[in-house]
Amino acid sequence: HAVSDVELLIGLAGHVDPAKERERIDRSLAKVEKDLATMKKKLSPSFLEKAPAEKIAEAREHLAALERQHAQLLEAKKLLDEL
């Protein structure tokens, strides 16, 4: 059986360069924030009126996934700051 949405926390202190990891997280955050803005624009009232229900559901699922990813990256950045 495949498992989804599993979160694994590993102590990285001393194993990761905090500056490089912060840069990686910042790059990922910038991309996710751009994608979030795009998806929010896509889910405009005109799209919601005209698009098939299946496409609306897919767009909403994608938006929710991006929001989860954004929250995870913010949490990772917070944890990195605590190292």
Q: Strands, E, within the chain: which ranges?
A: none
Structural contact between residues 78 and 33, judged by C-beta atoms closer than 8 angstroms = no
C-alpha angle 35-8-11 in degrees, rounded to nearest 5: 110
**3-state helix vs strand vs coil in the chain, percent to 5:** 70, 0, 30
- Confidence band of 18 (pLDDT split at 50, 70, 90): confident
Model confidence over 25-61: pLDDT tens digits? Answer: 999 999 999 999 999 999 999 999 999 999 999 999 9
Distance CA 4, CA 44 (A): 30
| DSSP-based three-state secondary structure for 31 | helix
- Confidence band of 81 (pLDDT split at 50, 70, 90): confident
Structure confidence at residue 56 (pLDDT):
96
